[in-house]
Chains A and B, each alone.
Chain A
Amino acid sequence: MTAAREPLLSCKGVSKFFGALAAVNNLSFDVYPGDVLGIGGPNGAGKTTLFEVISGLNQATSGSVIFQGRDISMLPPETVCHAGIARTFQLNASFESLSVRDNVRVAAYFGRENRAYPGLKVGPDVEEQTTAALEAVGLAGKDHLIAGELPVLDRKLLMLAGAIATKPRLLLMDEPVGGLSPREIDHMMDAVRRIAQGGVTIVLIEHVMRFLVQLSTRVLIMHHGESIYEGPPQGLAKDRTVIDVYLGEGASERLGKLMEAGQS
């Protein structure tokens, strides 16, 4: 790792105001290729708003978002997607009436590039990519189920399959394991690890600390729209501010033990 390498994503003084409320307040950070950046923080800290700003669904009030050297802060969501950023949502977003396969097919067909004129048929390359994305998250064989009728884990995996079918360089995941059981969390952790190993840079928001610290190479903790901690996950349990505003004494002790167990 050389100090001269270029960040993949760079947020510079990003703010998002809703009236007088600063949901994100002058936030700056870089994400380097190969990173898994975990974002934590109490409810209402502005984590999801930050994702909305990066992915173009909600434009920043001020500051800029640079992706691969290009300012994407004013681009609409579809153009951000074509640029190589895919995202999953906190609430289980899907095309409810479509089949699992169609859900991913949409992403594989429309997500990679801007299509000036839509064709008459989905080509074999798109079909291949769709199959690959479904296999990568472990949804192979469920192609014909209707998305709206899937259980929670499968819906989250489907959203992930859609995201990677767009062939992103950067994947933003908003609470990928919220509401899942420990076994389901392990399944999701494996899927995310495989995606990271495939060369996709990841930024993820999560409250489940086990998931956050075990996957992340770096952690950013937000509070009131600002960063209160940025560094290795090992430092979290010892950071006074993080313990006070987010973890609390009990959780930080458990987290400390988890980290020690992981290192030994």
Chain B
Amino acid sequence: MSPAKRDVLVCIGLAIVLALVPLVIGTRYIITQMTLFFIWAIVVTQWNLVLGVAGIFSLAQMALFAVGAYATAMLAYYFAIPVIVAMPAAALITVAASLVIGAACLRLRGPYVALLTLAIAQVIYLVVVNDTACFTNPPSGCLPLFGGVRGFSRFGDLGFRALLGSKFYVAHYYVGLSLAVLAVMFSIAIIRGPLGLAFKALRDNPGYAMSRGISKFKYQLWVFGLSAFFTGLAGAFYAAQFGVVGPIVFSIAMLLFLLSMIVVGGMGTIWGPLLGAALLMLADEGMREVGDWRDIGLGLVLAVFVILLPKGLAGVRLRRAKAGL
């Protein structure tokens, strides 16, 4: 069986198991947390394409996630577009934003890409929170163009509340699951296909890759564009799921939380980021009661992995398989 086929089968198997979960577990909290897991799973599988597969140290992914969330909220709020229509539109806006960021990073390498992308994310954040001029004046009070520190709320939802009443969160669970399955399939197609080859070749040795016919310009834009679509869509779904979009999506803590998922799971692998997302969400959950120690605990988990398992959880599996052969 080819590796691509094996990955697709694993993905389908996981999807079936996860689809059965709400039939067994009725706790709203668990279902909602798993929906959040799907959102983070989408973001880390797509971020991994840039970071792990193409080896471009971009920290812009959470800003792109925010673009998707904000675009959905703003389209729905200002233009009264149904959220379900605003979501794909927001994903396309995110792709456009990502292409601009990718082009800006073309001539940079290594840590300079990280610096520039972090700076871009911070600039967007500052523009959002420092804009205090009232753009509209709804009954709830002055609202700046980008929502200011308060952000957007009451911009509509996917319509499941009206349809299913208090059980709407189960529908959101399935929407999240479907999007996550699509995003994982998308990343399998890229990593196992010719595009993945081009990205990895440019990562390993850009000069050599170019002299074997791979345009750095073209494929860097491809990876930024492709990885942004589902990231934007995840942001859009986040907006629909929580009904609120505020500047918290730009927070460094959130960025590091997701970055840690990729590092812990294994950069550049198909299943690593997903494993990392599951493990870190469980760890985070386990430390929920210990307040401020939560961040320190996450830091410790990250440190242990960087020192003992630099290739992440997926790296362990690979090393075992090799030793077995």
Residues of A participating in the B interface, judged by any CB pair closer than 8 Å: 55-57, 76-78, 80-82, 86-87, 89, 93-98, 102, 105-107, 109-115, 118-122, 162, 166
Is B211 a contact partner of A87 (Cβ separation < 8 A)?
A: yes
Q: Which of A96, A110, A114 contacts B212 (CB 8 A)?
A: A110
Can you list 7 A-B contacts with CB-CB less than 8 angstroms, sorted by A residue number?
Answer: A76-B210, A77-B207, A78-B215, A93-B207, A110-B201, A120-B194, A166-B213
The residue in B195, B201, B209, B222 that gathers the most chain A C-beta atoms within 10 A of its C-beta is: B201
Is A120 a contact partner of B200 (Cβ separation < 8 A)?
A: no
Q: Is B137 an interface residue (CB 8 A)?
A: no
DSSP majority for the A interface? loop
Taking CB atoms, residues of chain B closer than 8 Å to A86 are 211-212
DSSP majority for the B interface? helix
Q: Which of B195, B201, B204, B212 contacts A81 (CB 8 A)?
A: B212
**Cα-based distance from A105 to B197 in the complex (angstroms):** 8
**Cα-based distance from A106 to B201 in the complex (angstroms):** 8
**Cα-based distance from A111 to B201 in the complex (angstroms):** 12
For B200, give the chain A residue with the smallest CB separation. Answer: A98
Taking CB atoms, residues of chain B closer than 8 Å to A98 are 197, 200-201, 204
Interchain nearest-CB distance for B11 vs A (Å): 16
For B195, give the chain A residue with the smallest CB separation. Answer: A118
Q: How many chain B residues touch A (Cβ–Cβ < 8 Å)?
A: 20
Taking CB atoms, residues of chain B closer than 8 Å to A76 are 210, 215
Taking CB atoms, residues of chain B closer than 8 Å to A106 are 197-198, 201, 209, 212, 214
8 A Cβ contacts from B188-227 to A: 189, 193-195, 197-198, 200-201, 204-205, 207-215, 222
The residue in A76, A114, A118 that gathers the most chain B C-beta atoms within 10 A of its C-beta is: A118
Interchain nearest-CB distance for A122 vs B (Å): 6
**Cα-based distance from A123 to B189 in the complex (angstroms):** 15
For B268, give the chain A residue with the smallest CB separation. Answer: A97
Q: Check A77/B211 contact, CB under 8 A, given A120-B193, A121-B193.
A: yes
Q: Which of B194, B213, B222 contacts A111 (CB 8 A)?
A: B213
